[in-house]
Amino acid sequence: MNPTLIKILKSREDISDYLFHFTKGSKGKDTLSKILLDGSLKDIHENGYICFTDSPITMLPSMFEIFDHYDEPMYAPYGIGFRKELLYDFGCRPVIYDDKDGLSKLPMELRWRGVEYVPGKYDYSWLREWRIHKSEVPFSDNDIIVIGNESEEVFDLTYDLDDIDFDGDVEEGRTQFLGFAEGHFTRKYKGISLEDISTVNRMTKSELEEFLGEQNQGDQDGRSLGMFMYNI
């Protein structure tokens, strides 16, 4: 890559190294959990494409604070991010913003990229949208980073529970007992929360990379699961 371009990209906090896909509505976290379980993004509404944004995640906490006041927000603070070059190689491209007349002149094979734009009236350019003309985007564990609202939520989404050690006594004739458990969690995905970003007053791109660079798949986190009711 051109060394001057590298310096420019590093100096521009408004240019993202990632493309993000965020879920929608009050069930956004549940939707993200299903995406991770499936291991793929799907065009569930049959639009003919899947949408992403190249808005830097380090600059988005304030936007999600606005959406937080809606019962069914347009976008929820839960999603996944891909390296931009990975999705580009897969066919993802920036949308083409234009008025209806301009969009009508696009060849049919490019119509999926067209988004109407009328300044002050119909303006979604703030989304900085990219699209991919596919019905599904599969991903592997190391292809993505997971985005959540709070740090504990991101932990729940990015770690798998591999092993549980139980400690408790069973009284004769009983079918339940109250016990204690120690869990061994293994990291599956890299991830970051909006809470983490806000804590350091809007992370820079380099701080984001440093934060993610300290996360490794397979890392273990041992923590108490606390008291539980165990059915025999």
Q: Greater confidence, 70 or 177?
A: 70
Q: How far is CA 204 from CA 11, 126, 140, in A?
A: 10, 20, 26
| Structural domain spans, the chain | 15-142, 158-231
Whole-structure pTM value = 0.84
Mean pLDDT within 38-65: 93
Please state the rounded mean pLDDT for residues 143-155: 95
CA atoms within 13 A of residue 2's CA, in its CB half-sphere:
4
Pull the structure tokens for residue 152. Answer: 């504990």
Encoding tokens for residue 116?
């109407």
Please state the rounded mean pLDDT for residues 172-182.
56
Q: Per-residue confidence at 232, pLDDT binned at 50, 70, 90?
A: very low
Residue 230's pLDDT is what? Answer: 46
Quick one: average pLDDT of 191-201?
A: 86
Average pLDDT over residues 139-147: 95
Task: Give the separation between CA 231 and CA 85, rounded to whole angstroms.
Answer: 49
What's the mean per-residue pLDDT of the chain?
87
Local confidence band at 215 (pLDDT 50, 70, 90 cut-offs): very high
Residue 178: the pLDDT is: 55
Quick one: which H or E segment has residue 3? Answer: helix 3-11
Flag whether pLDDT at 229 surpasses 50: no
